[in-house]
Chains A and B, each alone.
Chain A
Amino acid sequence: MKSAHLNRLYGAFLLLFVTSVAWTQKGITGTVTGNQGEPLIGVSILIQGTGSGTVTDVDGTYALTAREKDVLLFSYTGYGSVTRDVGAESVIDVTMQAGAQLNEVVVTALGITRERKALGYAVEELNSEELTRTKQSNLVNALQGQVAGVQVSSAGGGPGQASRIIIRGINSLDPSANNEPLFVIDGIPVTNETLTVGGGGSRNVSNRIADVNPADIATMTVLKGGPATALYGLRAANGAIVITTKTGQAGGLSVDLSTTYGIEEVNKYPETQSIYTQGYNGAYDPNSFWPTWGSTIAEARAQDPNHPAALYNNFENGYVQGHQWRHSLSVSGGNEKATFRTSLSRLTQEGVLPFSTYDNTSFRINANYAASEKFSFGGGINYIRSGGNRVNADRFNERLVYWAPQYDVQDYIREDGSMIGYRNGGTVGNNPVYGEATNKFIDDVDRYIGSLNFSYSPIQQLRINYTIGLDQYSDFRQNYGQGSVYTGAPNFEDNLSNGNGFVVETRLRRRDVTSNINAVFTTDLSPDLNVRLLAGFDAFDSSYDRVTTTGNDLDIYNLFSLNNAADILTSSALVDRRLLGLYGDLSLSFRDALYLTVTGRNDWSSTLPQANRSFFYPSVSLSLLLGEVLELPDYVSFVKLRASYAGIGKDTDPYRTNVVYGNSAGFPITGVTGWTRGDQQGAPDLKPERTNTIEFGTDLRFLENRVALDFTYYNAKSVDQIIPVPVSNASGFSTFVLNAGSMRNQGVEVSLRASPVANESFTWDVNLNYTRNRNEVLKIFEGVEDILIGTSFGYAGSSASIRLIEGQPYGNIYGRSYARYNPNGDNADNLFIDYSQPLLIGADGFPIIETTQKILGNTQPDWFGAITNTFSYKGIGLSFQFDTRQGVQKYNQQSNFFAAFGISPFTVNRDQTIVFDGVTADGTPNTTPVYLGQGEGPDGENYGAGYYRNIYRGSTENFVEEADWIRLRNVNLSYQLPATLLQNVFIRTAGLTLTGNNLWLDTPFSGFDPEGNRGNGNGDDGFGGFTYPSVRSFLLTLNVGF
């Protein structure tokens, strides 16, 4: 019996394949040209309803395999898209209209392609060319300045360093919330987390999307939240980035090879004084801890003939030139039924901060098989290995501040391997370069992203899709510090914090499994009315496990093995999260003029209490094409009005619903375990958060579609936000999890695309976008006055903090300031400084520090935008992109340290006596002269540590700086060899590209490039200074196709 069943099953499989061969497949070729007759290179051709397709080559020709009644979709940036039904012919030539975007098809939620005109919300799509233009190895950086509403901020220019992407502002009050969009690759949500566990805090670790090879991507669609992502459910509450990878094409085999070499350097350095040298109280002392509170260089040289004639600028000198190589190879092809594409890529990079490295190796295989007219399946798998030595830029830059500039910091190691310091003949004082050489954090990621999809269409109107996917990675992280070369040998202090050297090994695994089934039914109810109905179900299971083992006190100073450590401590963590979702979508189109879509989704989340874990939310969107209803003036080609509403629910992190007890740090001790109450007060009655979004917009096309203007207004209100509110330790916890507030983001997005010149030999395209977001914290849990998002240390009480209070926008930076004259005391409670009032000067003649925290700035820009110009003349292409961010402030921790250590250029007035502008307590102008230096002044008074240490460094106001910028983000010059030259060789295409990134920067910020942030968390964008500096890079790329 059993074998009979098996035979039947085999039979079924066999027949499935055999029958599918019987359907007619045929090869189709053709040429795609522009309206001037010029061949269009790289036009994407997709067989609708399948994942397969191809792109045109340099001559504008293509070849693929399709069946009769298939619909081919041709799309090309700036030319919109065109569809053609496959009939009896085997050649389909297509002419596309520059500027035509009317019938453009875009990928929407769940990978469903829809005509752009039918959408009641804003969607933007980037193609492969736009994504690889800047040669960024981190895909997130490739989005910089390309899409309205999308803000990309990088934590710095480190190799592989994480970048953060925020769409339409921050939606969560929770300081630890993930405010980034969901990333979906070929229908599979993939993780983009940035984990710092195991010693990676303030190291330039990667966000996980950086693993993905940008050259594998065909298109990237940005769904900006609300109605666009309602079908994806709660995980896309902050928007979604939907990525489609390149697939193979039927026809000949094609092989593409690309090699890039790049160099990079720090694009902006902080300014430093170059007059005063090591010592304190103005006295030279080569053994002093203080790098520059000593005498002038001339005085020092009089005492010490070894003192150099000029100080080293170690803030420049400490950095080196970075290099990178990327090689990639792709092979694709196929026949009538099956297509495949494989790619291989290898990146090696050394950054500008000494010893920072990053390697990435990626393989990808995509394959599709059209078994029959009704059934097709396909899949892809991507293996990635990535990682490198992630340096500690924070420590490096901090230690550079302490380093005495009379010594070259690059002279860091003795022959015996011990550190050369900056005090006492080099025996004392931390050398930051030695620190990076001996204190490392190396990650090693193995990642697998795989997906399988099946599509079955039993009748013409119905298609059933099933996708199952896996995103799994393991990461082996090793953090170690070298012990002293011999007992008492000079060594970097971080290496000794827990004994003589240490090694920390962390092994972690993340596994996300997604399963999604849906069915789409399409029919014409009448000639005027088309109906599309979609229903589906998805399940998501995410698990994470980690073991961290710390070994302290190494026996052999440079053997970084746990076996070599005297003290071993281990901790582990397991986390599970599961989600289920049931969704439906009803779309109606009436006379191709009015489109209405209604969706509903119910989510069940494991992270919420049982009673509240199920929640439903709807969306509605409407699109009206005015041109179909009334006559438009000649110069107006197209007018679309759109409106939409969505209410998305959101769950929370796992394990936030009760109070727990964990093991105490440092235990077990002598075989005894210790237990302690967890720091977080969980809430057994948590409710899901809600974000309600309304969006209005227009899509306008003028002058025969040569000019396109899109405008969007949105208003998103998030309520019942789940927040771990930081509380007094005396409460028994350090945070309470509460449904604790609401917040609103509203803003406008404008994007303008124009093709001022488009003829056979020369085209000029302009792309401009503008984004303005306004945020307001509407309500915070009663009794909670503010929510602390983050703090950054400053000397003498000048630490800056970012906190949220009702009625104020997200991202206000608080700190101490100079007190202002305030005779009536009426501004005492004012959160803002009254800049109209003079400074209040104390009886000692110095400004007074206002210790009440005031709002000194905001981390969220007033607006940002970019303009990209692209020119092409025959085989030569030139594009350049300017970006700007305006109305944004940042706390510059480096500037605070510079002031405290006498490094800032303005501290050279330390030998002067001045009278501070301002008034004394009684309102009369200050007349007391004061000496700005240390110790005894010319007036015989003792000024102690001096003005900069006693007063200046204690006012946060001095270090919250304007962080606006305008930059030339990218220039790209390319040359493609004419096809005629290559006719008689085996080479199909050949081209050379020269790319420059970050070539010019204009900013009032005094430190490194203000684009760099302290890290990748919420609030980190308000803190800078000791970041991995941003870089200027030049890259040369050679492409050859066979």
Chain B
Amino acid sequence: MKHTTPYFLIACFALFFSACGADYLDVNENPNVATRPPLDGLLASASYSTALNQYRISDGHTAYYVQYFASPNEASTTDIYQEISNGGAWSELYDAMTDLYDLIRFGQEDGLDRHVAIAKVLMAMNLGLVVDNWGDAPYSDAFTGETLRPTYDSAEDLYATIFRLLDEAIAELATAEDAPAVRDGSDFVYNGDLDRWTRAAYSLRARYLNHLSETSAYDPAAVLAAVDAGLAGPEEDAAVTSFSTRNPWAQVADNNANLLLGGWLSEQFVDALNGTTYGVADPRLPLLTNRNDAGEFVGTPNGAGRQGDGTKALESYLVTTGALSMENSPLTIITYAELQLIEAEAALATNDQSRANAAFVAGITANMAQIGVDSSAITDYLAAAYGSADVSRDDVFREKYAALFLSPETWVDARRYDYAYKDFTLAENAALNTFPVRIQYPTTETDRNADNVPLVTLTDPIFWDQ
């Protein structure tokens, strides 16, 4: 009977390996992910992220540079123009553009023309943020996964790319009717409305053509032509209104209420709207922020830090009741109001004063109405601030500064306008003696792509800023 023992052992052994056939080792397919993504899912992610990227750029640096915000801490890095790179926004922008690259690529393979055309507009939106904040950047060599160190395209070439993307999108949107529909809810901006995407593409074209105002390539007539085909009303604003948790500005306001300080309005912005700078109180201010305990609107000077001891609300902040910082406030990418003010600027450049006047009023009116100012207050404000005078370029920049509150686009305006807003001064404790005109490349580029990344400082202008 001793001989049973080995059989017993062998039986144990065989039992254990009975499950192990030839495919025992074929378990390297990652069960958590897909090898080919649902394209509606790529669109959902990229369209949502495109709006979030506006916030990431703004909250990261532009809101401080244009002095919408000021840090409650004295001499904070961003306030005083120390070197910053906003690497978080950079990687989010490239993540979104990578997904759009795949959406275009796979969409073309699958004949999803609607998706492809929308992706091109979204790509232009993100690429625009990259160029206007960092300048030269990888694009033509980017996203492929074939090169570890993508080369940089010049900022001028990237502008050409933006226009090409928009032109292609406009052409493709016109013929995409027969292509498969976008899944309901997957396009966070226009939910698949091709007409609105077309008008948004024209509006972006107007914006980026208008960015060239300081260059020899500036063609205000072309801007006006694009405006004509642009957004038809404030209901067509390119914006996201559904959020993972809440509008990110609402989160900033929420955090600030819980003493995780942020979203403190700059003295610059508050004074521009409370009558200090221009002598006219802007009816939007009470709808955007709070009065302090003394019942006044008070901003914080950039670089100076907070004034009081924090036991009382001495300043104005982003608040959860503010029109742009409520739970479901729209997070905008480009608006009808912006387009009107672009039109006013371009019309002035073509000496079409009456068109400028009309667009100027339309822009202010649209923005104020969206924020919740009633129509009589709008009329009163226009009368008090401007009367019947012709609009000037200064007026356009002044109103655009107010109408584009929190938008990263304002920093482009500030640079085109050479920060010539009334009473606009360098931050206290400023580390530079001029205003910053770009930010640094993130360390992921300087570390990992050192051969290609340009060496720049915060005072090297982007090509359109002359």
Interface set of A (CB-CB < 8 Å, partner B): 12, 15-16, 19, 280, 286-290, 372, 374-375, 423-425, 427-428, 454, 456, 458, 464, 466, 468, 484, 487-488, 490-491, 493, 496-500, 515, 517, 539, 552-553, 567, 569, 572-574, 576-578, 580, 604-608, 610, 613, 654-655, 657-664, 666-667, 669-678, 681, 725-734, 736, 783-785, 788, 791, 796-797, 799, 801, 803, 944-945
Flag whether B44 is at the interface (Cβ < 8 A). Answer: yes
Is B82's CB under 8 angstroms from A673's CB? no
Flag whether B216 is at the interface (Cβ < 8 A). Answer: no
Give the shortest distance, in Å, between B407 (CB) and chain A (any CB). 22
Is B38's CB under 8 angstroms from A576's CB? no
- Contact A677 to B102, CB < 8 A, known contacts A288-B74, A667-B244: yes
Is A287's CB under 8 angstroms from B310's CB? yes
Q: Which B residues, 287 to 307, have Cβ-Cβ distances below 8 Å to chain A?
A: 305-306
Give the distance in Å from the alpha carbon of A660 to the alpha carbon of B29 in the complex.
Answer: 10
Give the shortest distance, in Å, between A495 (CB) and chain B (any CB). 8
Give the distance in Å from the alpha carbon of A680 to the alpha carbon of B195 in the complex.
Answer: 37
Flag whether B388 is at the interface (Cβ < 8 A). Answer: no
Partner of A491, one of B82, B138, B259: B259
Give the distance in Å from the alpha carbon of A311 to the alpha carbon of B183 in the complex.
Answer: 63
Q: Which residues of B contact A672 (CB under 8 A)?
A: 44, 183, 185-186
Flag whether B148 is at the interface (Cβ < 8 A). Answer: yes
Give the shortest distance, in Å, between B45 (CB) and chain A (any CB). 3
- Contact A730 to B449, CB < 8 A, known contacts A15-B1, A375-B5: yes
Q: Which residues of B contact A801 (CB under 8 A)?
A: 447
| Identity of the chain A residue whose Cβ is nearest the Cβ of B27 in the assembled complex | A576
Is B186's CB under 8 angstroms from A657's CB? no
Give the shortest distance, in Å, between B85 (CB) and chain A (any CB). 10
Give the distance in Å from the alpha carbon of A605 to the alpha carbon of B94 in the complex.
Answer: 35
Q: Which residues of A contact B83 (CB under 8 A)?
A: 796-797
Chain A CB count within 10 A is highest, among B6, B142, B448, for B448
Partner of B38, one of A288, A423, A675: A675
Q: Which residues of A contact B147 (CB under 8 A)?
A: 731
Q: Which residues of B contact A423 (CB under 8 A)?
A: 309-310
Q: Which residues of A contact B91 (CB under 8 A)?
A: 729, 734
Is B45's CB under 8 angstroms from A730's CB? no
Flag whether B150 is at the interface (Cβ < 8 A). Answer: yes
Q: Which residues of A contact B450 (CB under 8 A)?
A: 785
A sample of 12 cross-chain residue pairs with beta-carbon separation below 8 angstroms, ordered by A number, consists of A19-B1, A289-B73, A289-B305, A427-B311, A496-B259, A499-B245, A499-B254, A572-B32, A578-B27, A666-B244, A726-B444, A727-B148
Give the shortest distance, in Å, between B13 (CB) and chain A (any CB). 6
| Identity of the chain B residue whose Cβ is nearest the Cβ of A801 in the assembled complex | B447
Give the distance in Å from the alpha carbon of A540 to the alpha carbon of B138 in the complex.
Answer: 45
Give the shortest distance, in Å, between B87 (CB) and chain A (any CB). 9
**B18-26, B158-166, B389-397: which lies at the interface:** B18-26
Is B45's CB under 8 angstroms from A728's CB? no
Known: A456-B5, A677-B98, A734-B91. 15 other contacts (CB 8 A): A288-B74, A468-B12, A496-B258, A500-B254, A539-B16, A660-B34, A664-B44, A669-B48, A673-B44, A675-B45, A678-B33, A726-B447, A727-B148, A727-B448, A728-B148
Is B259's CB under 8 angstroms from A674's CB? no
Give the distance in Å from the alpha carbon of A140 to the alpha carbon of B30 in the complex.
Answer: 33
Give the shortest distance, in Å, between A582 (CB) and chain B (any CB). 13
Is A732's CB under 8 angstroms from B44's CB? no
**Pairs of residues from A and B, 4 with the lowest C-beta to C-beta distance, nearest first:** A675-B41, A674-B45, A424-B310, A666-B244
Is B8's CB under 8 angstroms from A12's CB? yes
Give the distance in Å from the alpha carbon of A331 to the alpha carbon of B223 in the complex.
Answer: 89
Is A677's CB under 8 angstroms from B99's CB? yes
Q: Which residues of A contact B254 (CB under 8 A)?
A: 499-500
1/0 contact trace for B86-103 toward A, CB 8 Å?
Answer: 000011001100110110
Give the distance in Å from the alpha carbon of A290 to the alpha carbon of B5 in the complex.
Answer: 78
Flag whether B175 is at the interface (Cβ < 8 A). Answer: no
Give the distance in Å from the alpha carbon of A796 to the alpha carbon of B449 in the complex.
Answer: 21
Is A732's CB under 8 angstroms from B98's CB? yes
Give the distance in Å from the alpha carbon of A669 to the alpha carbon of B188 in the complex.
Answer: 10
Give the shortest distance, in Å, between A155 (CB) and chain B (any CB). 25
Give the distance in Å from the alpha carbon of A660 to the alpha carbon of B142 in the complex.
Answer: 18
Q: Which residues of B contact A572 (CB under 8 A)?
A: 32
Partner of A573, one of B17, B29, B32: B32
- Contact A660 to B41, CB < 8 A, known contacts A499-B254, A580-B24: no
Q: Which residues of A contact B44 (CB under 8 A)?
A: 664, 667, 669, 672-675
Q: Which B residues, 28 to 80, have Cβ-Cβ distances below 8 Å to chain A?
A: 28-38, 41-42, 44-45, 48-49, 72-75
Give the shortest distance, in Å, between B36 (CB) and chain A (any CB). 7
Q: Which B residues, 121 to 151, have Cβ-Cβ distances below 8 Å to chain A?
A: 137-139, 141-145, 147-150
Partner of B25, one of A19, A372, A613, A677: A613
- Contact A783 to B1, CB < 8 A, known contacts A660-B34, A673-B41, A731-B142: no
Partner of B13, one of A491, A517, A677: A517
| Identity of the chain A residue whose Cβ is nearest the Cβ of B71 in the assembled complex | A289
Partner of A497, one of B16, B42, B99, B260: B260
- Contact A466 to B260, CB < 8 A, known contacts A539-B17, A577-B27, A725-B148: no
- Contact A16 to B150, CB < 8 A, known contacts A454-B9, A496-B260, A498-B245: no
Is A661's CB under 8 angstroms from B448's CB? no
Give the shortest distance, in Å, between B182 (CB) and chain A (any CB). 11
Is B255's CB under 8 angstroms from A727's CB? no
| Identity of the chain A residue whose Cβ is nearest the Cβ of B152 in the assembled complex | A730
Is A659's CB under 8 angstroms from B148's CB? no
Q: Which residues of A contact B445 (CB under 8 A)?
A: 728-730
Flag whether B421 is at the interface (Cβ < 8 A). Answer: no
Give the shortest distance, in Å, between A862 (CB) and chain B (any CB). 27
Give the distance in Å from the alpha carbon of A468 to the alpha carbon of B260 in the complex.
Answer: 54
Partner of A374, one of B2, B24, B25, B452: B2
- Contact A16 to B82, CB < 8 A, known contacts A676-B42, A730-B150, A784-B148: no
| Identity of the chain A residue whose Cβ is nearest the Cβ of B13 in the assembled complex | A517
Is B309's CB under 8 angstroms from A424's CB? yes
Is B25's CB under 8 angstroms from A578's CB? yes
Q: Which residues of B contact A663 (CB under 8 A)?
A: 41
Give the distance in Å from the alpha carbon of A375 to the alpha carbon of B7 in the complex.
Answer: 13
Q: Which residues of A contact B448 (CB under 8 A)?
A: 726-728, 788
Flag whether B222 is at the interface (Cβ < 8 A). Answer: no
Give the distance in Å from the alpha carbon of A216 to the alpha carbon of B91 in the complex.
Answer: 50
Give the shortest distance, in Å, between B181 (CB) and chain A (any CB). 14
Give the distance in Å from the alpha carbon of A15 to the alpha carbon of B3 in the complex.
Answer: 11
Q: Which residues of A contact B443 (CB under 8 A)?
A: 791, 799
Give the distance in Å from the alpha carbon of A280 to the alpha carbon of B305 in the complex.
Answer: 11
| Identity of the chain B residue whose Cβ is nearest the Cβ of A783 in the assembled complex | B148
Partner of A456, one of B6, B143, B310, B431: B6
Flag whether B243 is at the interface (Cβ < 8 A). Answer: yes
Give the distance in Å from the alpha carbon of A490 to the alpha carbon of B260 in the complex.
Answer: 9
Q: Which residues of B contact A730 (CB under 8 A)?
A: 94, 137-139, 141-143, 150, 445, 449
Is B149's CB under 8 angstroms from A728's CB? yes
- Contact A727 to B149, CB < 8 A, known contacts A567-B245, A673-B41, A674-B41: yes
